[in-house]
Structure 1
Amino acid sequence: MKPLYDDLWISTPEFPVEDAVNDLMMHGFMLRHPRGNLLIGRVENPLDHEVLADAGGVIRHYLTHWHESAPGAAIIQQRFNSALYCHNRSLGPISRFVEPDDTFSQQETHFGDFHLLPTPGHTPGSCSFLYHSPLGLTYLFVGDTITRSHERWISVLVPDSNPAELKKSLEFFRTLRPDVVLMSTTRGHLSWKKVTLQSWLAAIDEAEQQPLDLRQQPLF
């Protein structure tokens, strides 16, 4: 793991697709919250787990959707006695790898400043997390509800996607004012992007206009 900001770290990239030109990567994030370290997304690399230990462990682990579930989530849960959270519509597929400690079905706020936002569509249980850092930036963790493919902003349709729900979630994103957007899976691009209001609204426009339909293909 390495720091992006003083209170936000990114995991070692994971390359889930074995091919000759593999530029599909996955990342997770550690938020150094005043109440304890929060983990967002998929963090499988054992060396990253050692960094988590050196940083004081993890008190809670949040998944944005079931594609982030993997054996490492169970290892983290057991090693750090951290509570794992997901949307209740993700519970079934996530439970194949690890048993969440709690679920949510509507907007919630944890610790008074970490906002859980259901944003279904990419998958039924997709969600996002919003945090106003005391250091001055607003972080938005979007999972794969909106992401980057090289220089394009896209939305992604997979077999369990719901295009109507995804459209509503993208419209909801228009009401948010992030400074940094953090994504779970990208192609040919790092998994975070600093945005202005103008560039964020333009990103949503682009993602709406050019969805990547993979409902009959492998992811990305």
Structure 2
Amino acid sequence: MSLTQIAPDLWGTPHWPVEDYANTRAYLLTRPQGNVLIYGLGFQRDEADEDLLDEIAALGGVQVQILSHGDEASHSLEAVRQRFGSRLACSAVEVDQIDNYAEGLSVDLAWEPDCADDALDGLEIMATPGHTRGSISVRYESPHGQTYLFTGDTIVPKDDGGWVVNVAEQQGGTAADLERSLLALRTQFFDLLASSAYVGETSTASPSREEWQAIIDRRIERLRVWDAARA
């Protein structure tokens, strides 16, 4: 079994390395109105990948796949669409980057703040630029009683209990945008945070409301120090 059940309606994929110190994974959110695959699968097409897609199929497949930012693009996007007839969604700001990743790849749903689409019903999508120019986060109130917050790479957990934020300037990220996004996320309260990348082996976290606010405050303080040192 490649998928790991995290909650009654939430499953995590295997971990894929992206750096010597960091990993990434995706999450399958199962819903009566259609399942949502959040983030990229990060693989090429081979036999092992088909096994993972078989497991996803057994849970109802995928209606829509949401990328939090362009770094999550891979050849797996087309594999998912071909297998499930799913739609690919991302911020309208990052459509070009994802469309240009591979020949024939195209985004089906370009999210903007006023976007209304049945595939996104029940999902609160928030613009959280700063890591990249078009990063988004997703909040979902599960009917099973928990609230999930998917932050992409805007803020990610570490195994030692710390947290990391990163400005990808080559992809249009800025410290000013990231600080505003962190302040917006500071007001979001949840039971489970699930990031795209993470440092170590732990991709989820469940800080209390007070802990979360303190985490954000510390990250903003460190971000300001980093930005000032570059001036």
TM-score, normalised via structure 1 length: 0.89
List 4+ stretches of structure 1 deviating above 6 A. Answer: none
User: CA offsets, 1:26-47, max 9 Å, x none?
Assistant: 0100001121211000114513
Greater fraction of residues in helix:
2
Stretches of structure 2 lacking an aligned partner (at least 5 in a row): 44-48, 227-231
Q: Is 1:14 the counterpart of 2:16 in the alignment?
A: yes
How far off its partner does 1:179 sit? 1.1
Q: How do residues 106-185 of structure 1 correspond to structure 2 at under 5 angstroms? A: 106=113, 108=115, 112-151=121-160, 152-159=162-169, 160=171, 161-185=173-197
Asked if the contact 2:192/2:206 (under 8 Å) is kept, the reply is: yes
Greater fraction of residues in strand:
1
Asked if the contact 2:4/2:13 (under 8 Å) is kept, the reply is: yes
How far off its partner does 1:150 sit? 3.7
How far off its partner does 1:107 sit? 5.6
Which amino acid in structure 1 is aligned with residue 175 of structure 2?
Answer: P
Asked if the contact 2:39/2:72 (under 8 Å) is kept, the reply is: yes
Which amino acid in structure 1 is aligned with residue 41 of structure 2?
Answer: V
Which amino acid in structure 1 is aligned with residue 139 of structure 2?
Answer: L
In the alignment of these two chains, the number of paired residues is 209
Give the whole-Å Cα distance in 2 for the aligned partners of 1:59 and 1:2.
20
How far off its partner does 1:108 sit? 4.7
Which amino acid in structure 1 is aligned with residue 32 of structure 2?
Answer: P
Asked if the contact 2:42/2:73 (under 8 Å) is kept, the reply is: no
Asked if the contact 1:83/1:101 (under 8 Å) is kept, the reply is: yes
SS in 2 for 1:129: strand
Q: For the aligned residues, what is the CA RMSD? A: 1.8
SS in 2 for 1:157: coil
Asked if the contact 1:108/1:116 (under 8 Å) is kept, the reply is: no
User: CA offsets, 1:4-32, max 9 Å, x none?
Assistant: 01100001000123xxxx33100100001
TM-score, normalised via structure 2 length: 0.85
More displaced 10-residue stretch of structure 1: 186-195 or 123-132: 186-195
Equivalence for 1:218 = none
Equivalence for 2:34 = 36
Over the matched positions of the two proteins, sequence identity in percent amounts to 28
Equivalence for 1:201 = 213
SS in 2 for 1:85: strand
Which amino acid in structure 1 is aligned with residue 143 of structure 2?
Answer: P
User: CA offsets, 1:188-212, max 9 Å, x none?
Assistant: 2411101211111122122212349
Asked if the contact 2:88/2:107 (under 8 Å) is kept, the reply is: yes
Which amino acid in structure 2 is aligned with residue 103 of structure 1?
Answer: A
Which amino acid in structure 2 is aligned with residue 178 of structure 1?
Answer: F
Which amino acid in structure 2 is aligned with residue 188 of structure 1?
Answer: G
Stretches of structure 1 lacking an aligned partner (at least 5 in a row): 214-220
